[in-house]
């Protein structure tokens, strides 16, 4: 490969291209294995298209990635970045081994969904499907305005064609006769929930694009001769944009991954990796040195970020002590359980947006074939799903929609605002994978603005349960108690269970907790009562207010504060953020006067809510807020993000002591977990 800024020497030899693509497959699989997550299926299906582009078609300079004359490639389905990273590494943009050892690792440029600000050569930051073609259209328009000869490429998925924005972009590209733009669709026939044809039919794509004014090529997406021929011919088409429909196989090249929807977003384990490499004839690439490099990189991150944790007198991290034990269950499970139960109500209907199993919305009918007629697969189309639900609600149904928190509150926000909330329709929103703890998928998938987007909407009820048990009860309340729009936010990761069926749960009323002494079970170490029943019968130094999974950290902070520092705490669980329990906040402010808020969200959603309640009532209060400090997250393990962004109980303790102007009793001497 060229080591300077000279153009890449393109290869037209099919045998050599096949070899590069095989290596790309091997490196992509190794990287996802070491990361422990990622998207092998699509990475393997698109590998030949990307190899053709980087090695045989595009004018580019790996050592000068910002070269102004380069051809631009926008990969819209950015979950398939292991393919792009592997091909870029092979082409010489960076060390391929750094990618293999660093994919999705905290602090590396190899984000779970690419970030152009972190990795030169990547043209767009993204991960939200359906946006790549639009930015490519903008880039192609800019090229024309500036009289630049470079070409613009955009790779999309076939499931992605379900996003309406793709068709807005397609219309605009043809309207402006963008013959410098060439799209490729990786037609592997699969998406997350299954076959594209079953989830939401997009065929016939050729006819659709032709009728939108595009020139269409149809090729075998694993045949380099056909691919190169189509790219060459596309470059010669004048007056209209081109699209290449590349027929591919998801998981191509590894027999047990081929055409299997289950390999969309799952990393191979070590045995599977070895078997895959054997099939590719590239077992020798998995060297001991590479394995060691990946291991060392992970250990380095754990040390570096673990050391950011303030130190307590002993290891207070979950389940590190013989007593104070908790069960760890993802809050989404509670949501699924409730839906399974409540789904017997014939008014309830559920709508999925191609992420149905993992957010547990499919629990509605997974084991209930008789309910399948009330399940509507909407495809990757969050806006349409929301407004279709509004139509169902208008006629007396109780529809629940769901997706990743980012997509089901942000992508469809105008639909939520105007049709659902302004119309006060009985639509329920499952806000899945909330918070930063969604982890390795990275910033684009970490839902950190959703609660603000929801709470600001008139008529919307917003619930943010703290654990799986409370999620079940919150879901039931949202569906059956509230008449009108209601959202329940829950998380993907295992979360400490701190409530049980005896814990009070009243919609719109906070729960108040106090530490009573260590116990075998963490939850038994606290007394809990409904805010209305709480009597301030002891002097307290500090109030901690939290909700969602972060609430368990607030409880643990209270435990540390009481045990290590003699700070007496009142802990308020605001599981209902709207309508909020103002009385519970005002009593706390009046009784104690010092409040720390803790949220797994951009800071201030909860903090400013609490501050506003106090300010409006004229109750003076000293406050501090813990949350994401006006920043996007990044790829990492959930607990590493909690360490880095200061969301652990130990950080709450440190912040509380500052707020109380107390000197920490324990010195910072290293990590304790
Ligand atoms: C707006 C948006 N909604 C949902 C998702 C979650 N998601 C990631 S990949 C995927 C399926 C993509 O299917 P397809 O476009 O066919 O890609 P491929 O089969 O090549 O993986 C979905 C729903 C997302 N990233 N963005
Ligand atoms: Mg697909």
Separation of CA 159 and ligand 1 centre (Å): 7
Angle between helices 288-306 and 14-35 (to 10 degrees): 40
Q: Which atom of ligand 1 has the smallest separation from the CA of 445?
A: 25
Q: Kindly indicate the confidence band of residue 205, based on its pLDDT and cuts at 50, 70 and 90.
A: very high
Ligand 1, residue 444: give the atom nearest the CA.
25
| Res 671: pLDDT | 35
Mean pLDDT of the chain: 96
Q: Locate 588 and state its tokens.
A: 């706390």
Whether residue 253 has pLDDT greater than 90: yes
In the structure, ligand 2 is a single-atom ion and the residues with CB under 5 Å from it are 157-159, 188, 190-191
> For residue range 543-566, what is the model confidence (pLDDT) as tens digits?
999 999 999 999 999 999 999 999
Neighbouring C-beta atoms of residue 327, cutoff 10 Å:
16
Q: What is the pLDDT of residues 13-23, one digit of tens each?
A: 999 999 999 99
pLDDT per residue over 462-493, tens digit each?
999 999 999 999 999 999 999 999 999 999 98
pTM higher than 0.75: yes
Burial of 450 (0-12, 13-18, 19+ CB in 10 A): buried
Classify 566 in phi/psi space as left (phi over 0), alpha (psi -120 to 50) or beta. left
Does the structure show a pLDDT above 70 at 4? no
166-200 burial string, b = 16+ CB within 10 Å, else e? bbebbebbbeeebbbbbbbbbbbbbbbbbebeebb
Beta-bridge partner residues of 330: 494
Q: What percent of the chain has pLDDT over 70?
A: 98
Cβ–Cβ < 8 Å for 139, 175: no
- List alpha helices for 480-628, DSSP H: 550-565, 582-591, 605-617
Q: What average pLDDT does range 367-371 have in this prediction?
A: 97
Q: How confident is the model at residue 668, as a pLDDT?
A: 39
Band (pLDDT 50/70/90 cuts) for residue 26 is very high
For 595, the enclosing helix (H) or strand (E) is strand 594-602
In angstroms, rounded to a whole number, what is the distance separating the alpha carbons of residues 195 and 344?
28
The correct CATH number of 14-285 out of 3.30.420.40, 3.40.50.1980, 3.40.630.10, 3.40.50.970 is: 3.40.50.970
**Where does the pLDDT of residue 308 fall: very low under 50, low under 70, confident under 90, or very high at 90 and above?**
confident
- What value does the mean pLDDT take over residues 154-177? 98
Pocket-forming residues, ligand 1, beta carbon under 6 Å: 42, 45, 77, 79-80, 127-130, 157-160, 186, 188, 190-192, 250, 264, 354-355, 380, 403, 407, 411
CATH 3.40.50.970 residue ranges for the chain: 14-285, 329-496
Assigned fold of 329-496 = Rossmann fold (3.40.50)
Q: What is the pLDDT, as a whole number, of residue 669?
A: 35
Q: How confident is the model at residue 126 (pLDDT cuts 50, 70, 90)?
A: very high
Note the pLDDT of residue 306: 83
Q: Report the separation in Å between the CA atom of 220 and the middle of ligand 2, taken as the mean of its atom positions.
A: 15
Backbone angles phi, psi at 154, to 5 degrees: -140, 125
d(CA 550, CA 236): 56
Q: Which CATH class is domain 308-326+501-659?
A: alpha beta
Q: How confident is the model at residue 7 (pLDDT cuts 50, 70, 90)?
A: confident
Longest dimension (CA), the chain: 82
Preceding peptide of 324 cis, ω within 30° = no
Question: Rounded to the nearest whole angstrom, what is the distance from the C-alpha of residue 568 to the centroid of ligand 2?
Answer: 55
Listed in sequence order, the residues at least 6 apart from 517 whose beta carbon sits closer than 8 Å to its beta carbon are 525
Does the pLDDT value for residue 358 go beyond 80?
yes
Res 2: pLDDT: 47
Separation between Cα atoms, residue 182 and residue 517, nearest integer Å? 66
- Compute the half-sphere exposure of residue 482: CA atoms within 13 Å on the CB side of its CA: 31
Pocket test for ligand 1, best of 159, 197, 444 (most atoms within 8 A of CB): 159
Give the number of whichever ligand sits closest to the CA of residue 356.
1
pLDDT at 536: 92
Structure tokens at 148: 């630049």
Kindly report, as residue ranges, where domains of CATH 3.40.50.920 are found in the chain.
308-326+501-659
Strand partners, 352: 377, 402
Please report, rounded to a whole number, the percentage of residues in the chain having pLDDT higher than 90. Answer: 95
pLDDT in tens, 586-638: 999 999 999 999 999 999 999 999 999 999 999 999 999 999 999 999 999 99
Residue 252: closest CA among 11, 16, 50: 50
Please give the angle made by the CA atoms of 309, 310 and 316, to the nearest 5 degrees.
85
């Amino acid at each position: 490969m060229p080591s300077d800024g000279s153009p890449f020497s393109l290869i037209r030899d099919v045998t050599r291209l096949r070899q590069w693509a095989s290596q790309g497959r091997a490196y992509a699989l190794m990287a996802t294995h070491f990361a422990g997550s990622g998207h092998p299926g699509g990475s393997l299906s698109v590998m030949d298209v990307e190899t053709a582009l980087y090695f045989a078609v595009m004018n580019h300079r790996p050592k000068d990635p910002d070269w102004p004359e380069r051809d631009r490639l926008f990969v819209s389905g950015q979950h398939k970045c292991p393919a792009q990273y592997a091909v870029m590494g092979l082409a010489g943009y960076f060390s391929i081994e750094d990618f293999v050892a660093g994919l999705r690792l905290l602090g590396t440029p190899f984000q779970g969904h690419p970030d152009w600000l972190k990795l030169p050569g990547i043209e767009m930051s993204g991960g939200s499907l359906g946006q790549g073609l639009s930015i490519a259209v903008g880039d192609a328009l800019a090229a024309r305005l500036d009289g630049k000869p470079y070409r613009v490429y955009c790779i999309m998925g076939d499931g992605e064609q379900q996003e309406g924005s793709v068709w807005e972009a397609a219309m605009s590209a043809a309207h402006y006769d963008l013959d410098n733009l060439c799209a490729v669709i990786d037609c592997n026939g699969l998406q997350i929930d299954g076959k594209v044809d079953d989830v939401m039919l997009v065929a016939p794509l050729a006819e659709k694009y032709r009728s939108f004014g595009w020139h269409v090529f149809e090729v075998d997406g694993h045949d380099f001769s056909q691919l190169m021929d189509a790219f060459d011919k596309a470059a010669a088409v004048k007056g209209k944009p081109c699209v290449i429909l590349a027929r591919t196989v998801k998981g191509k090249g590894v027999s047990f991954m081929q055409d299997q929807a289950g390999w969309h977003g799952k990393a191979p384990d070590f045995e599977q990796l070895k078997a895959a490499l054997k099939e590719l004839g590239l077992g020798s690439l998995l060297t001991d040195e590479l394995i060691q490099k990946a291991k060392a990189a992970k250990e380095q991150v754990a040390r570096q970020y673990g050391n950011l944790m303030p130190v307590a007198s002993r290891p207070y991290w979950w389940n590190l002590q013989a007593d104070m034990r908790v069960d760890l269950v993802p809050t989404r499970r509670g949501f699924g359980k409730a839906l399974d139960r409540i789904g017997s109500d014939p008014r309830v209907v559920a709508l999925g947006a191609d992420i149905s199993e993992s957010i547990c919305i499919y629990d509605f009918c997974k084991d209930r074939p008789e309910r399948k007629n009330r399940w509507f697969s909407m495809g990757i189309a969050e806006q349409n799903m929301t407004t279709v639900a509004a139509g169902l609600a208008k006629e007396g149904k109780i529809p629940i929609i769901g997706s990743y928190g980012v997509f089901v509150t942000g992508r469809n926000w105008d639909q939520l605002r105007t049709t659902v909330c302004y119309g006060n329709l009985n639509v329920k929103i499952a806000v899945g994978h909330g918070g930063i703890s969604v982890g390795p998928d990275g910033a684009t998938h970490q839902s950190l603005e959703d609660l603000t987007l929801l709470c600001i909407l008139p008529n919307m009820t917003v619930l943010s349960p703290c654990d799986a048990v409370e999620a079940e009860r919150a879901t039931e309340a949202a569906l059956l108690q509230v008449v009108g729009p209601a959202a329940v936010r829950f998380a993907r990761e295992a979360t400490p269970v701190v409530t049980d069926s005896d814990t009070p749960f009243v919609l719109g009323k906070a729960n108040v907790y106090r530490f009573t002494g260590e116990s075998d079970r963490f939850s038994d170490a606290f007394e809990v009562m409904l805010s209305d029943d709480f009597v301030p019968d002891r002097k307290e130094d500090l109030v901690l207010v939290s909700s969602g999974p972060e609430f368990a950290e607030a409880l643990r902070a209270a435990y540390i504060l009481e045990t290590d520092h003699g700070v007496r705490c009142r802990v308020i669980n605001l599981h209902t953020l709207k309508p909020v329990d103002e009385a519970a906040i005002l009593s706390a402010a009046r009784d104690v006067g010092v409040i720390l808020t803790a949220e797994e969200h951009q800071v201030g959603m909860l903090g400013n809510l609490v501050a506003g309640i106090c300010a409006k009532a004229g109750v003076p209060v000293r406050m501090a807020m813990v949350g994401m400090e006006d920043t996007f997250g990044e790829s990492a393990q959930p607990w590493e993000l909690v360490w880095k962004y200061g969301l652990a109980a130990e950080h709450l303790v440190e912040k509380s002591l500052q707020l109380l102007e107390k000197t920490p009793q324990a010195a910072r001497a290293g990590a304790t977990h």
